[in-house]
Amino acid sequence: MEKRVVFMLLITLLSLTLVMAETIEINAKNSYNPGEKISVSIFIYSEGNKILNEPVNIIIKNNYAEIFKEEIVNSGEAIKFTLPENALRGHWAITAKYKDIEKTQLFNVMELEKAEIILDNDILIVKNVGNIPYRKSIQIAIGEHEETAFVPLGVGETKEIKLNGNGVYDVRVSDGTKENTKIFQGVELTGNVVGLESDNSFIKRYKVLILFIVVVFIVFIVISVLRFNEKKK
C-alpha cells in the first residue's frame, strides 16, 4: 500500500514537472509614449532553462481589447512596431502563445497632447494628432500684428483659421512647443483688416439657423403690416 502511495506521488510530481517544463518570458517596458518605436522580445525556456527556437504567436491589443498587431516570431526574436501618435492611452496587452502555454503582460500607453499646424494659402490648419484633447493657445503673428487663438480640439478634430491682411507678410505661429514654432515667409493675404477669422465662427457654423430666423422675422413684419393696413380700412 505504501509503495503504491509513493508511486502515485512520483507520478504526480512528474506530471507537474512536465506541465511546468516550458515557460514563456516577455521582455517589455512598463510604459511607452505614442509615436515610440517598440521592440518586444519573447523567450521560451525548456525545463533545463535553455532557450528553445520555436515559433510563438504574439497578439497586441489596445485598452479596448481591439487587436492592434498579430505576428508569429521565433523564440529569442523581437517583434517590432511603432505606436501611432493617436494610440489609445491606457493599458495595452501583449499575449504570447506557444502550444498550450499562454502569457499576457500589460504595458501603459502614455498621454500625448499634440497638434499638427500647417498653412494652406491663407488658411491655418490645426489638427489634433495626439491621443487626448488638445487645449493649447496658439500665438499667431501676421507681420507686426499678434493675436492669440485658443484652439480646443477633440482627438482627431481639425480647426481652420483664416488669416486676413492686405499684402505679403511673414506669419509666425507657436503653441509653445519646438515642433510647432514655425515661420511662413512671403504669405499673400487679402482683406481690409489684419487679423484672424475663424472658419468655425458662430455665424458660419449656424448660418442656416440665422437665415431661418431672419426669414421668419421678415415674414412676421410683412404680416403685421398687412394686418395693420386692413384694420385702417
- pLDDT tens-digit map of 144-179: 999 999 999 999 999 999 999 999 999 999 999 999
pLDDT computed for residue 209 by the predictor: 72
pLDDT computed for residue 12 by the predictor: 54
> Between residues 34 and 5, which one has the greater pLDDT?
34
Cell of 141: 503673428
Say yes or no to pLDDT of 222 above 90.
no
Query: Would you place residue 196 in the very low, low, confident or very high pLDDT band (cuts 50, 70, 90)?
Result: confident
Say yes or no to pLDDT of 1 above 60.
no
Report how far apart the first and last C-alpha atoms of the chain are (Å, whole number): 125
Pick from 7-11, 21-25, 112-116: least confident: 7-11
pLDDT computed for residue 8 by the predictor: 57
User: How many of the other CB atoms lie within 10 Å of CB of 36?
Assistant: 16
Question: What Å distances lie between residue 15 and 5, 10, 21, 24, 117, CA to CA?
Answer: 15, 9, 10, 19, 62
Rg (CA), the chain: 32
- Residue whose entry in the numeric block shows the C-alpha cell 487679402: 190
Query: Would you place residue 211 in the very low, low, confident or very high pLDDT band (cuts 50, 70, 90)?
Result: confident
pLDDT computed for residue 220 by the predictor: 82
Q: Which backbone phi and psi does 64 adopt, to 5 degrees?
A: -100, 10
**CA angle at 72 for the pair 105 and 75, rounded to the nearest 5°:** 70
pLDDT computed for residue 6 by the predictor: 47
Query: Would you place residue 21 in the very low, low, confident or very high pLDDT band (cuts 50, 70, 90)?
Result: low
pLDDT computed for residue 18 by the predictor: 45
Say yes or no to pLDDT of 228 above 80.
no
